[in-house]
Structure 1
Amino acid sequence: MKPATTRQKVVSILYTILLGVIMGLAAKLVDAPGINPIFDDIGGRLGIWVFVATLLSVFSYSPRVAASKVFAFFGSMLTVYYVYTIWILHFFPAREMLFWGICMVISPFCAYLMWYARGHSLFSTIIASLPITVILSEGYLLRYAYLPIHTHYYLIPFLMGVYLIMVAVLLLLVPEDRKKGVLILILAIILSCMLIYLSVLGRIFGGMNGVL
């Protein structure tokens, strides 16, 4: 396969910025009253963003492009989301901005590593299992979720279904070897059990995420 040209790399990053703008605006719009709370609840958690960032990373031309694309995605998405929040809604959520800003800063390093998830080594298997671990852990913790105003418990099974679909998509698309997919799932289940038992996500993110 011929190496990607500079133009191809730049175009892929520009498309990623456009995706970030669209998803940032969509995440803000579904936050409005009258919108089905399931959309807002998905957008307000880590799972969907880990899912998108993983796909952007593994299908990039190189680890450096993966890092650039994921940083560009979060940068454009968060810019649109919080510009709308501050300028249109006249609300300044400093704590939430700091949380997601930290996520944006560390995202290129995660994306750089995630690019190697499609390899055939043990390292690749471990890397590929990490986003699935986070999604599984957060999906399990949805059983304790207090959706918007403590009145939407009926949505929890639907949200868990969305998380299972994200896991299934990653298992189908990320590993090139189906046998490796089984190993990834087993490792992700083991790691997610450890995260849940030790309350790792809650200790790291401390209430910044809707489920934690």
Structure 2
Amino acid sequence: MKKQREIVADLTDQELVLNVYLTQVIMLVLALIIGYFVFDRWFDFGLLFKTNLKWMILVGGGVALVVVFTDLILERLLPKEWLDDGGINERVFRNLSIPQLFLLCAVVAFAEELLFRAVIQTAFGLVIASVIFALVHIRYLDKPILFFNVCLVSFLLGTLFYWTGMIMITIFAHFLIDFLLGIILRNRYKKNIEKEGGVRT
């Protein structure tokens, strides 16, 4: 984990964002490869994308808002160092425009939910999919609160998929969580820069 942080520290913000995109491409490829063996027909895979717009917005959106508000409450209640991810999330989001942030969050939500929920959870169940999802976020392993939070969100999204059978609901919830938190981090960074009266990259 220390080595990972050192590698990340050597990357520019743009290189960091590019690495996020490359990681999502790998996840999409894995989802297609594993999905080929999990589903008898691609038609069965496609059935997971059936959706109910009202449910997607109310249920998926509701879950996302609960997660975001919980994160904000934890920030106020817990010591800052307990929630410090090394500034990686801020560096990913801070220099993105809103459309760029929207696109990045949409790609991440689609790729990760497709792999971990639609494919891995369908094949191996909620617990295994949620644990693997949490372990992929390796930089949180030495941060108990952050790791527990990722585990909880993973189980929450997995349970949402289990109950509804609709992958679009979990994709929307995942997207909204990342997008709202991304905007918050971006705005905080911009305000801090304005207060300091300078420009940092």
TM range (shorter): 0.3 to 0.5
Query: TM-score under structure 1 normalisation?
Result: 0.36
**Higher RCO (Cα < 8 Å, 6 or more apart):** 2
Query: TM-score under structure 2 normalisation?
Result: 0.37
